[in-house]
Chain A
């Protein structure tokens, strides 16, 4: 699971109001090399929940001194975009779990795949 995906995922346990962002408890993290496309990353930035991204990156120890708040002139700032690229697309949680911040429910991540299936009583 890449952090880009994590940024979109939310807890959908019944009754939970604040299920986002999911906390990450990672036991295995991989860093891959992914081709850097500054335009692509620049397009992604406005679609992200920036705070959630920073929090997740922090949890995994891959924050790389990214700022707490999104800088206004990120487009064209290649150095910045490269860091974002790495955080979003190169860091991958292979084993661990995602935890609902409100209910505590844990969703396992195995071989990079989060299992978000709820039980009958949680839906």
Chain B
């Protein structure tokens, strides 16, 4: 434990060795902090210290760390940036800081079931972060202490759960939250209610006083006639969804009993608001928050919530995030009572895009969506691409961007061969990886994903949002165009051809286009592409035994995770799901993307309880800076994402599920791309080759 124990002469030699070891580890942690987090440590003593491994990202709570640090001296501030594997402490006096540096360096602390070793280094100063308040979604209200402790107990005992003796139910309780309906049965197969078949018993009598209170306070004008009770154990959640418009009227109320939780609201434009639902609080959703925002509870065992000592009561996590006033809160069993009024007649809300009565497709189902079939016409194709390309990229943008950091050499060759002053269009520019390769050209990028385009803009590139089938640039305005890993996302041959024609339209006479698409033949000339190569290439052993500040593996290009989804073959004409990192066996398929956690190679049944789950936060500039976390901690997803087409992975090797997204691809066979280009008038194929699992073509306009 304490490495600076007073030693007898016989122990002197060992102590000095231990001291050297500690010193080495401390230096190592300093290097990692600098390399991956940009934190400069100094040997010169100051009031400020960085505590490596003492962060929220390691599962260390504010209370615990604070208690440990105040033992040395009075604290001025304690800053714990969310998701980070470090914290900053400022002592009142430099002496206290120095004492902490000596006494606490190498201290091992218990963190749940793990032991974390803290390393202390001085820093010049501690940067503060900007304020940013995030409002609650429109129409959302949280009423705290809506029921008393007695009422809560009464309500909880009023539910008669089915007995757990039969195998089926036992199996189900392990994976899913428990659900019971009153008034009307809610059906999960069509996300609607059987309005003609009310359940024999209405709502439990115990609910009456609560409901009357709701009426009296004006939260609703009509008495609800449907109740769904959900019980969530730690690690359980519910995927994001909008309550079916046609099934229920506007206001929906949900009472949280037994424990608090964090519910995430997502707007179609990408905004995410994480809201704390305290125990015994009433959540009232109406208007936009009921009809347009999705709400969900991420299956987790810990939430990050505002610390108790915050100055003002903050209900949204985002508000607290920027002040680092966060702490970890362990989930307990929470039971929600959701009261709704059945709607008779169609919904005529102001949000048709999410309304099943007004033509929108029904909300994403919590269960697996049926495998799509290949589209026959443009509008079907557009719909398929919307669900399996556009929504996915918007949802995974930050993670995706972090895996796309190395420009491919042969693409760079093309770019660098362009004469200075050339006008270049990168159609489907993604995270802008290629826009800066040749600074002598005028590069403009466009992409269908606003989330990815925003990333480009933040990097200082000239970009706009548009579709590759209709690029808003003048004809013959470009000296060169590139389309790297784009056209394979179009789901019909006509659309793929249209995309090529559009590139050609943009070219000036004599201009060149470079097109890369994923190849069906991943192995070419007996060389396996990186995609197929050793799946464990990314897994590097921990650099120091105890340190949780690990230099994480740089994610390889096209690496979509090592876990294999059990692929299923749909019926003829249906798209099948591909197993990552294996050879393709069909040309039209869905490729899984696992929104990533930091631990790899965690497989097998023995990890059922212990498997960590967190979603990476990305810093846009340092794509490689990921921090590993102590096994028990789970962190909140901070990326602003739309989560649609999400299927929670029911893989047995994890107790909590990782969201899996499916992207549509049409992988090209040898010669297919070239053959298509030949069909386009006014261009010649100058070069055709295979590069790292892609078929590539260079076209020149006549």
Contacts and interface: CB of A to CB of B under 8 A. Distances in A.
Interface residues of B, number: 28
Interface stretch (A23-31, A62-70, A71-79, A113-121): A113-121
B471 interface: yes
A120 B381 CA distance: 12
A111 B471 CA distance: 20
Contact of A112 (B382, B450, B457): B457
A80 interface: no
B695 to A, nearest CB: 28
Contacts of B467: 117-118, 123
B198 interface: no
Interface in B450-476: 450, 453-454, 457, 462-467, 469-474
B446 interface: yes
A17 interface: no
A99 to B, nearest CB: 13
Contacts of B446: 116
A113 B463 contact: yes
Contacts of A39: 420
Interface residues of A, number: 27
B423 interface: yes
Contacts of A116: 446, 464-466, 472
B442 A9 contact: no
A21 B320 CA distance: 46
A111 B459 CA distance: 12
A20 to B, nearest CB: 6
A113 B454 contact: yes
A40 B450 contact: no
A2 B457 CA distance: 12
B653 interface: no
Nearest to B506: A8
A12 B462 CA distance: 19
A4 to B, nearest CB: 6
Contact of B442 (A4, A49, A113, A123): A4
B477 interface: yes
Given A113-B465, A114-B465, A117-B465, A9 B457 contact: no
Contacts of B465: 113-117
Interface in A85-123: 107, 111-118, 120, 123
Given A8-B473, A116-B472, A123-B470, A43 B420 contact: yes
A10 B477 CA distance: 11
Interface string A43-61: 1100101000000000000
Nearest to A52: B474
A33 B448 CA distance: 30
Given A4-B442, A5-B444, A123-B470, A115 B464 contact: yes
Contacts of B474: 8-10, 20, 49
A8 B479 CA distance: 12
B453 A113 contact: yes
Contacts of A107: 472
A6 B473 CA distance: 9
A40 B440 CA distance: 8
Nearest to B425: A8
A12 B505 CA distance: 13
B421 interface: yes
A55 B238 CA distance: 54
Contacts of A12: 470-472
Contacts of B448: 117
B35 to A, nearest CB: 29
Contact of B444 (A8, A11, A49, A115): A8
A40 B464 contact: no
B379 interface: yes
Nearest to A19: B472
A111 B464 contact: no
Contacts of B453: 113
B420 A40 contact: yes
B464 A113 contact: yes
A9 B421 contact: no
Interface string B264-304: 00000000000000000000000000000000000000000
Given A43-B420, A115-B464, 19 more contacts: A1-B464, A2-B462, A5-B444, A5-B464, A8-B444, A8-B473, A8-B478, A9-B464, A9-B472, A12-B472, A20-B474, A40-B421, A40-B440, A43-B421, A113-B457, A116-B472, A117-B466, A120-B382, A123-B469
**When A and B form their complex, which 10 residue pairs have the shortest distance between CB atoms, in order from nearest?**
A43-B421, A116-B466, A114-B464, A116-B472, A115-B465, A12-B472, A5-B462, A10-B474, A8-B477, A113-B457
Interface of B: 379, 382, 420-421, 423, 440, 442, 444, 446, 448, 450, 453-454, 457, 462-467, 469-474, 477-478
